[in-house]
Amino acid sequence: MKVNIEIDCTPLEARQFFGLPDVAPMQTAVMDKLQQQVLTNIEKVSPESLLQSWFTFDPKMTERFQDMFAAMAGLGGTRSADKKK
């Protein structure tokens, strides 16, 4: 003997029928907090903040970046080579 029962209800109605708690307010709170964290972390990864953190780490970092870009562009020797002359 085979019996098939089809119940047409929404997930909320099924949770209420089985006595499960309504998790919608918790999901909303978690998503709001997640959105705030994502937005604050996006600001930390912006190009301006990355460059600021790179250049404030070491006072000679700007010279090193200039040397690196000059070497990559093939514009000649580095500053250290110029200083030795």
**Residue 10 lies inside a defined structural domain of this protein:** no
> Residue 66 sits in which domain range?
59-85
Q: Which two tokens stand for residue 58?
A: 């070491």
Residue 73 lies in a domain: yes
- Of the chain, the end-to-end C-alpha distance in Å amounts to 99
- Residue 57: what pLDDT? 63
In the chain, how many domains are there?
1
What pLDDT score does 46 carry?
77
Give the mean model confidence (pLDDT) for residues 38-45. 82
- Determine contact, residues 39/32, Cβ cutoff 8 Å: no
Task: Specify the pLDDT at position 84.
Answer: 53
CB 11 within 8 A of CB 18: no
Dihedral sign of CA atoms 48, 54, 59, 61 in order: negative
- Residue 4's pLDDT is 95
Is residue 76 included in any domain, yes or no?
Answer: yes
In a domain, 65, yes or no: yes
In a domain, 82, yes or no: yes
Q: With 0.95 as the threshold, say if the pTM is over it.
A: no
User: Computed over its alpha carbons, how large is the radius of gyration of the chain?
Assistant: 30
